[in-house]
Chains A and B, each alone.
Chain A
Amino acid sequence: MSSQKSRTRYKLVPPIALPTMGWMLWFLMIPMGIVLIYSLVMKGIYGGIVWQMTFENYERAFDWLYLKIFLQSLKLALLTAISCLLIGYPMAYVIATANQKYRSALLILLIIPFWTNFVVRTYALKVLFSEQGPLNAAAMALGFFSEPISFSNSYGMVWIGMVTNYLPYMVLPLYVSIEKFDFSLLEAGRDLGASSWNNFWKVLVPLTKPGIITGFILVFTPALGEFLIPDLLGGARSMLMGNLITEQFLKMRDWPFGSALSIILMSIVLISLVIVIRVWMKEEQTKVEAEAAHGH
């Protein structure tokens, strides 16, 4: 890179980096370190702690009662990310291939709900699917069923909420990837006799993989720790990790247990990220090797 030349070298740290470094240390690193410490001490009364080391909080977290909640959260986050990918890819493709005029209109249509307050969007879904809501009214008027059905208080409702809320996080990076894609490659593929499926699977998908990975991470990570959607749409029966942790902190005042739970959440996120990136790197590696074997 030519930019290398004009960079000023510092033996220590440039003063201009100091404010942010200090801030990150003081409000990010130390607080997270403290969560780790809190997860290893005993609970005192009224949200206090007792300075005595214990693994009790972690042992308690592996009780089947809580393990079930972890698995449920993991399942729902995965399901959300996959649903978003399946819906988001065709959408991103449509937007990226639309002519310029429609393209910006479609992007704006996508960005408006994305920028709309999260609480408002979730509340809108709650109203739509409520027992006195328009969906029930319409279905009854059309004679689908005679009694209003309760959609809320179910994992299905939480899934709908998560997919509609997180979809733009998937579509936007996918759009960026597909937008950059050189479509003449598809023509070349077709000329060489590739079926549309092969063209899609072997040309378009591999070349838009950065978008897929980014989108997946951007949906999966927040979905795993989601609090608001299950809280407003799922009701008491569909508790997820985010709700469990919030409850420990704001209601039960058991900060050490809540800290242990959030350390576990962080670990799941990190492990998933590593797996996703590893799988991706491995494929890149085999591709490079294959190319090398072909004498490129």
Chain B
Amino acid sequence: MATEHRARPSPPFFASLVTAGTFLLLYIPLFVLVTYSFVQTDLDGNSSFTWNWYYEAVADSSLQQALWMSLMVGVWSTLGATLLGTTAALALERTDFPGKKIFDALTLVPLIVPEIVMALSLLIWFVILKISLGGISIVLAHITFSFSYVIITVRTRLADFDHSLEEAARDLGATPWKTFWKVTFPLIWPGILSGALMAFTLSFDDFLITFFTAGVGSDTLPVKLYSMIKFGISPKINALSTLILLATALLVLMIFRPKRSMKTISKESGETSVPDALKALG
């Protein structure tokens, strides 16, 4: 970007203050949670260090089951959402057809509809269709709310790259099918990947839609966590939350490795991750 190398003004003091204060507000609760997960208090009120809550959390079979459910739902819904999102993105960027504008606008609906409305509309629909509430209904629901994000990341990628490459392949006699696999796909692969990653994260994080569409015994991790919290604050929840927090932090650091992200933040056309994630939001 042209403005990149120009000097940027230093922010006013109060802005830095607000930023620092807000980061504290965002991190203090998480820090407290982590600390509490290692503390054991005996009857006299003395506190000591312990790993006990972690042992308990890991050994809890209902938590293991919930984790497995979350992973399975995540994988299947990511597959579905990526397939739907990629094909729709190709249709929107590479073809013209009557009613395309309407289709385009409708793909944004899942981003605008309040989560709770989507949740209950799917609940009613599954009950009418007699789809039993469980793993399958959750996967169907998750695909429905996440494919739009894949469309956005893949479209961004498709719009960015040089069309003449595809045209050249066609001119040289490649079939559309071959052009796609040999030219288009390798170029949009990073967009598909980051879309898929986003779909998985959305699925793994989702609470409300799963809460409505999960049946008895098909709790995912967030839903299980919620019912544990409703039951009462227990140190085991702190340990479990810390583990989830750790997994998240590792994932984020892995994806937005400082070296790579510096490049990608400064160059729109760069790798994937940050800009694509941001574009998906904006």
Contact = CB atoms under 8 A, between A and B. Distances in A.
Interface of A: 2-3, 5-14, 16-17, 19-21, 23-24, 27-32, 34-35, 38, 87, 90-91, 93-97, 100-101, 103-113, 115-121, 123-128, 130, 133-134, 164, 167, 169, 172-173, 175-177, 179-184, 186, 196, 210-211, 214, 218, 221-222, 224-225, 227-228, 232, 242, 245-246, 249-250, 255, 258-259, 262, 265-266, 269, 273
B61 interface: no
25 contacts: A2-B163, A11-B97, A12-B97, A19-B87, A20-B107, A27-B140, A28-B110, A28-B144, A29-B106, A30-B125, A32-B121, A94-B16, A97-B11, A103-B262, A110-B23, A111-B252, A116-B245, A117-B244, A118-B205, A128-B32, A133-B32, A181-B3, A183-B3, A183-B9, A250-B212
Nearest to A23: B84
Contacts of B99: 13
Chain B CB count within 10 A is highest, among A5, A21, A30, A269, for: A21
Contacts of B205: 115, 117-118
A224 B238 CA distance: 29
Contacts of A24: 106-107, 109
A91 B18 contact: yes
Given A34-B121, A87-B22, A113-B26, A8 B95 contact: yes
Nearest to B150: A20
B163 A228 contact: no
B22 A91 contact: yes
Contacts of A177: 282
Contact of A184 (B6, B10, B107): B6
Chain A CB count within 10 A is highest, among B28, B118, B281, for: B281
B8 A97 contact: yes
A34 B208 contact: no
B193 interface: no
A10 B112 CA distance: 29
Contact of B32 (A12, A111, A134): A134
A180 B265 CA distance: 11
Contacts of A120: 33, 225, 241, 244-245
Nearest to A183: B8
A90 B19 contact: yes
B56 interface: no
B121 A126 contact: no
* Interface residue tally on B, bucketed by range: 35 or more
B261 interface: yes
Contacts of A107: 256, 261, 265, 274
B38 to A, nearest CB: 14
Given A34-B121, A117-B244, A97 B212 contact: no
A29 B244 CA distance: 35
Contact of A214 (B14, B93, B282): B282
B237 A221 contact: no
Given A127-B32, A221-B114, A180 B1 contact: yes
B174 interface: no
Interface in B86-132: 87-88, 90-99, 103, 106-107, 109-110, 112-118, 120-125, 128
Given A94-B15, A265-B114, 10 more contacts: A12-B98, A19-B84, A28-B144, A117-B248, A123-B33, A123-B229, A127-B32, A130-B233, A164-B26, A266-B117
A86 to B, nearest CB: 9
Contacts of A5: 163, 167
Contacts of A182: 2-3
B116 A9 contact: no
Nearest to A124: B29
Nearest to A190: B9
A127 B29 contact: yes
A108 B252 CA distance: 7
B143 interface: yes
Contacts of B167: 5-6
Given A8-B95, A117-B222, A87 B125 contact: no
B256 A108 contact: yes
B248 A21 contact: no
A184 B3 CA distance: 8
Given A16-B95, A20-B87, A221-B112, A176 B278 contact: yes
B8 A100 contact: no
A241 to B, nearest CB: 8
B222 A17 contact: no
Contacts of B144: 23, 27-28
B124 A38 contact: yes
A25 B80 CA distance: 16
A118 B16 contact: no
B161 to A, nearest CB: 10
B27 interface: yes
A91 B225 contact: no
A32 B114 CA distance: 12
A3 to B, nearest CB: 5
Given A94-B19, A113-B26, A17 B112 contact: no
Given A6-B166, A35-B117, A112-B252, A119 B125 contact: no
A75 B98 CA distance: 42
A64 B95 CA distance: 52
